[in-house]
Amino acid sequence: MEFTYKLLGFAFAAAEDGAADVAVDTAETATEMGLMQTILSGVGMFFPLIIMFVLMYFLMIRPEKKRKKKEQEMLAALKRGDRICTIGGIYGTIADIKDDTITLTVGRDNMSMVVTRWAIRSVEDVTIENESAALN
């Protein structure tokens, strides 16, 4: 027990000797700690927003960009004779392509119809030979 008091007495004496140095170091450390706490609290506050943005990007924005790119490639690859479906649900065969307008032949009588390029939803896999049998 006496050893413990001597040890504690030595610790108290050492603490009193270095109290002035410790006070200066403690003030600087407290300022640095306060600054670190402020930074960490700011990061902690914005962390959920950052996570929400990342999730929104991967769940909404990225798939939409892929879909748009695929659609643009499909519209750029249109050629005469392709069987297409418009956004209005009209099936036809491309007869002519000029800049942004496309002339379609539709129905048994091969009626002509002019639509814009953006109005095409998809290119069908049906060939022209099969089309005449399906329409008659």
Query: What confidence category does residue 26 fall into, taking pLDDT thresholds of 50, 70 and 90?
Result: low
Instruction: Enumerate helices (H) and strands (E) in the chain, giving the number of each.
Output: 4, 5
Average pLDDT over residues 69-94: 93
Q: Is the pLDDT of residue 11 over 90?
A: no
Average pLDDT over residues 112-119: 95
Q: Is the pLDDT of residue 101 over 70?
A: yes
- Residue intervals of the chain classified under CATH 2.30.30.30 are 78-135
Distance CA 102, CA 86 (A): 11
Q: Which residue has the higher pLDDT, 128 or 114?
A: 114
Average pLDDT over residues 75-98: 93
Task: Tell me which of 2.130.10.10, 2.30.30.30, 2.40.400.10, 3.40.1710.10 is the CATH number of domain 78-135.
Answer: 2.30.30.30
87, 120 in Cβ contact below 8 A?
yes
What are 11's two structure tokens? Answer: 């610790």
Average pLDDT over residues 21-48: 71
